[in-house]
Structure 1
């Protein structure tokens, strides 16, 4: 079988009764986190929402509702805008090994299709798991070389996640799912230049990936065919983007969704551990920004070379600051953490001076996602490091809900309504998806 055939056979025949309870739980917690941080970043998604309303307005019977305000738009417009919403704070889930934001590319398509069809929540969860497993298996071993070529992994593997997930939700056959994956392979694309240029493609790449994968599944449902070897063919997706046709595609034995982690800060996934390590080191040794003469952070070579990580400004958009590890560490050293508003300090001369004292280097002995930090202060030198494991930022439902409640002032929901949303998301296998969307919609009278 081709890679697409192998993946499609797994996702289209996935028996919900064989999915372990911890995998279903992981899907619910991940959904809660992703849509929750989307609620907290809603003001940053205003342009995407305005675009969807202007270009996608439709009869409520034929469309899906946008989270938060409930406006009915076409499913394509809904996916694009919801992707921008979930990714607004860049705090959506990630899988470090493949550098892909699976939530903001899979969930927008599923939420739109499920709201339109009044689908059961359990169907969405199974489809979500199918999408996560499919894209993870395809991207393994390939996302790193495609990133080296300049492509953004989320933009080229995200459509495959959305296609596999949408095909599952639409109950497509294995053959139709193969076509959906083939079409999605043809619809993927996007580079990392946005991080270097400080422009805003990154905000919409995820929604575009979700929309394109969903459209691929909808076309396949109508009989449009996609190449069965679109992924691993001689002129296929992997050869074009990663320069290889080699894959490892065992599915169903090890559930890759369990590797998905979350973000405590609204910054790049690579920067999460270094910020956490530095804030702990500063507290332990009681030094502050003014005490730091210089700071060196060592990263895994793949992390250190990721576009935008080793930049020192000047910055003109939060896409530059959230990616810049020197900037993020400077804020963390000054403030003991990072809030969304901290990413706008482009013109702060003190912060920029501190940023220039921070050096990022590559070290082969540092694992991916980890770091080693050395701070030279006027009083001495302090060093600390961290190697992540399967528990790092892998929160359970209680911690995820508590962290979301801490963001209540940034969401459009009252504390009571936020709790209702949390309860619905964590029990989605017993609710229709429309009730989840209902739980996000703001009552103008509140």
Structure 2
């Protein structure tokens, strides 16, 4: 059992004169939603969606058990990533694993991995006896803040070559932790403002296939949590950290008029459709943009005999213009790293056609047959944008036949998650019993003792065993 994370007691209102100050900035608007969410009962649709994303993210995180991660070799171990002691380190360590297979959830409209930024941070500070509904509500609040802000910022984030998770993730994490700690609106605003200063991360990683993507998400969870802990202790954040003349929006190249419109639209976005119900849960260990393409390719492979496969002359993968243009998706040359392979639409589709599935271990460099097929794949735009990165594939065979199939996205429901658990967890060396029990444990998390039963099931599995142990 790893040492218990160090964190201050869960707070009620952090009261004082500042709680009475009226603020209209972006941080205050987001914080007001957080404080309100911490008080209100959770609606049934949000409750179901929160359980679905929690189950999925736990499964893919646990499936990375024993998976080698860059920088964590035995000779150069990083204690905060392998043997976390503090709550922020625990959030960092669990997020590293939740994203290790590239299957953590994504909010397509903001292209942000909200689950791996929010969930580990909340679980790192929540006590074992916390009411499960309160836990789910805090997670949902982090998703709502991250998604509402992320949609508004996405065009500006992309224009700057930044990664949405690195920019929005710390703010979503801080919001969720503020909710589970039940900070008042003033302290929650401080947490969000402090987290806005942690916005970082660039998409050059996808072009070079390096490892920053792992650290960007892990840092988002840790930095948001730290920001909330600082705010709980009385640290102050700039009231105009988001929209001020030297704030986040300015740094993203947003002019004053556009910035005012973004902030003005936040209340409506926060009160709109639950973001947690919009999440794309990944069935395959590839980028979210490639999920539908891989799924379609697996379906097409069932229609091809081995002899047919040897006569494939051309494969056209059609995505939306934005998805086809995203860094790393339309890669001309074969990938030179796992990170490049995960982003490379050609690679994912070729492996799906060659193997009938995409396994994380087989993603790079791929079999000789997959490498042959990759050279025949073209990635083009022109498909209408969909809420879940839809794709269409056309396969041309030497005898003139043409196979076509399309999908608007991949749906991962509770039943599919349960099947994934039964496949992935035993393959990672974890007990089949845990894989069998996990869906029911998450389903019952909002019952009496539900959180304790879930975390007890993770006992002995580092770093997960340290969650909710305060």
Same fold (TM over 0.5): yes
Measured at CA, do residues 191 and 102 of structure 1 come closer, stay the same or move farther in structure 2, by a change above 3 Å? Answer: same
Map Cα deviations across residues 242-272 of structure 1 (whole Å, 9 max, x no partner): 6352323222342121101211111101001
Q: Following the alignment from structure 1 to structure 2, what is the Cα–Cα distance between the partners of residues 53 and 342?
A: 26
Measured at CA, do residues 384 and 242 of structure 1 come closer, stay the same or move farther in structure 2, by a change above 3 Å? Answer: farther
Q: Which region of structure 1 is more displaced relative to structure 2, 13-22 or 309-318?
A: 13-22
Once the two structures are TM-superposed, the CA of residue 218 in structure 1 deviates from its matched residue by 0.7
Does the CA contact (< 8 Å) of 2:441 and 2:450 recur in 1? no
Aligned to 1:149: 160
Does the CA contact (< 8 Å) of 2:290 and 2:348 recur in 1? yes
Once the two structures are TM-superposed, the CA of residue 374 in structure 1 deviates from its matched residue by 1.9
Q: Secondary structure at the match of 1:294?
A: strand
Does the CA contact (< 8 Å) of 1:299 and 1:372 recur in 2? yes
Does the CA contact (< 8 Å) of 2:84 and 2:93 recur in 1? no
Q: Which region of structure 1 is more displaced relative to structure 2, 102-111 or 304-313?
A: 304-313
User: Which consecutive unaligned segments of at least 5 residues does structure 1 have?
Assistant: 58-65
Q: Secondary structure at the match of 2:55?
A: helix
Measured at CA, do residues 407 and 349 of structure 1 come closer, stay the same or move farther in structure 2, by a change above 3 Å? Answer: closer
Aligned to 1:106: 118
TM-score (norm 2): 0.84
Measured at CA, do residues 365 and 433 of structure 1 come closer, stay the same or move farther in structure 2, by a change above 3 Å? Answer: closer
Does the CA contact (< 8 Å) of 1:88 and 1:203 recur in 2? yes
Q: Following the alignment from structure 1 to structure 2, what is the Cα–Cα distance between the partners of residues 39 and 161?
A: 23
Once the two structures are TM-superposed, the CA of residue 412 in structure 1 deviates from its matched residue by 3.6
Q: Which region of structure 1 is more displaced relative to structure 2, 290-299 or 33-42?
A: 290-299
Q: Following the alignment from structure 2 to structure 1, what is the Cα–Cα distance between the partners of residues 364 and 316?
A: 23
Q: Counterparts of 1:47-446 in structure 2 under 5 Å?
A: 55-56=79-80, 73-115=85-127, 118-241=129-252, 243=254, 244-245=258-259, 246-247=261-262, 248-249=265-266, 250=268, 251-284=270-303, 286=305, 288-345=308-365, 348-363=367-382, 365-367=384-386, 369-386=389-406, 388=408, 392-395=410-413, 397-430=414-447, 431=449, 433-442=451-460
Map Cα deviations across residues 107-147 of structure 1 (whole Å, 9 max, x no partner): 111111115x7533322211101100011010113213312
Q: Following the alignment from structure 1 to structure 2, what is the Cα–Cα distance between the partners of residues 416 and 439?
A: 10
Q: Following the alignment from structure 1 to structure 2, what is the Cα–Cα distance between the partners of residues 282 and 178?
A: 51
Q: What is the CA RMSD across the aligned residues, in angstroms?
A: 2.6
Q: Following the alignment from structure 1 to structure 2, what is the Cα–Cα distance between the partners of residues 16 and 330?
A: 49
Measured at CA, do residues 434 and 47 of structure 1 come closer, stay the same or move farther in structure 2, by a change above 3 Å? Answer: farther
Does the CA contact (< 8 Å) of 1:98 and 1:144 recur in 2? no
Does the CA contact (< 8 Å) of 1:27 and 1:128 recur in 2? yes
Correspondent of 1:5 among 9, 19, 28: 28
Once the two structures are TM-superposed, the CA of residue 203 in structure 1 deviates from its matched residue by 1.7
Once the two structures are TM-superposed, the CA of residue 56 in structure 1 deviates from its matched residue by 4.2
Once the two structures are TM-superposed, the CA of residue 82 in structure 1 deviates from its matched residue by 0.5
Once the two structures are TM-superposed, the CA of residue 279 in structure 1 deviates from its matched residue by 2.3
Q: Following the alignment from structure 1 to structure 2, what is the Cα–Cα distance between the partners of residues 400 and 421?
A: 10
Q: Following the alignment from structure 2 to structure 1, what is the Cα–Cα distance between the partners of residues 155 and 412?
A: 22
